Amino acid sequence: MKITVRGLTRRYADTAVLDQLDLDVEPGECVALVGRSGAGKSTLLHLLAGIDQAEAGSIAFDGLRIDTLDEAARTRFRRQHLGLVFQSWNLVPSLSALDNLRLPLELIGLRGDEARGRAQALLERLGLGDLAHRFADELSGGQQQRVAVARALVHAPSVLLADEPTGSLDADSAAAVMRLLIGACREAGASLVLVTHAAEVMGQADRLLRVEAGRLRPA
Ligand code: ADP
């Protein structure tokens, strides 16, 4: 999907964290956001995900304004079209990897054998088939993060939003996670916006943007 952001302004108390920010992301494009801590990168991702609301400005996906939808419609849109890899979005520890992937499918009305088959097939395609029946809290950090990325991809979203998806991972796990995310972009044509501090990750993006003084500029 094409993402079009215009004049986005988000204030906390008297401070505008984002100040009339504009952004265009093409379908299938991978954009990496960089910037110092506190610059507003996570704030921007949360606004794009429709989890937070701005004081001013517009956010459209293929022309559909999500900022003017009511909360129920925004939630439906998010479940259908967006894939999120956020630090706060942990796997459910008491469910297996497979069942963690079935949850987002259930939320869009896909149940039973169809959901199970799709979740299993994706885990296998991503080389995670052996982990399908392990409980999430029995997986290593790197394995959990790869399953979390699989969960974000299982409903074939058109837009992926990832907040430091390789943050706490060793080099091998980080590379595996990036292969999954970039693969979804290149193969399925999903648009990807990710926040990162890692040079290797930046190197794989089509475009690097710096969040600074509430706006974006080429980095
Ligand atoms: P980054 O992701 O670039 O590190 P954030 O988007 O998390 O930055 O935060 C940007 C600024 O907004 C910071 O100064 C932070 O303290 C402030 N901020 C973020 N969330 C809240 C909140 N819920 N209430 C008040 N201030 C917040």
- Report the nearest atom of ligand 1 relative to the CA of 35: 3
Q: Is the CB of 41 inside a 6 Å radius of any atom of ligand 1? A: yes
- The residue whose CA has the least distance to atom 19 of ligand 1 is 43
- Three-class SS of residue 24? strand
**What are residue 9's phi and psi, to 5 degrees?**
-130, 125
Confidence at residue 125, expressed as pLDDT on a 0 to 100 scale: 87
Alpha-carbon gap, residue 101 to 151, rounded angstroms? 5
To 5 degrees, how large is the angle CA 43–CA 49–CA 54? 50
Q: Which SS3 state, helix, strand or coil, does residue 194 take? A: strand
The per-residue pLDDT for 88 is: 78
| Atom 20, ligand 1: residue with shortest CA distance | 43
Residue-wise pLDDT tens digits, 30-77: 999 999 999 999 999 999 999 999 999 999 999 999 999 999 999 999
Which pLDDT belongs to residue 65?
Answer: 98
Condensed to tens digits (0 to 9), the pLDDT of residues 160-179 reads 999 999 987 889 888 988 98
State the pLDDT confidence band at 85, using cuts at 50, 70 and 90.
Answer: very high
Q: Which residue has the higher pLDDT, 5 or 184?
A: 5
DSSP lists the bridge partners of residue 218 as 209
pLDDT at 173: 86
pLDDT for residue 168: 78
How far is it, in rounded angstroms, from Cα 118 to Cα 156? Answer: 11
Please give the mean pLDDT across all residues of the chain: 95
Question: pLDDT tens for residues 108-144?
Answer: 999 999 999 999 999 998 889 999 999 999 999 999 9
Closest protein CA for atom 25 of ligand 1: 12
Q: Residue 163 phi/psi, 5° resolution?
A: -105, 105
Indicate whether residue 15 lines ligand 1 (CB < 6 A): no
**162 contacts 192 by C-beta, under 8 angstroms:** yes
pLDDT at 90 over 90: no
Instruction: Say how many C-beta atoms besides its own lie within 10 A of residue 179's C-beta.
Output: 15
Q: Which domains does the chain have, with CATH numbers?
A: 3-218 (3.40.50.300)
- The beta-strand segments (E) located in 52-114 are 56-61, 64-65, 82-85
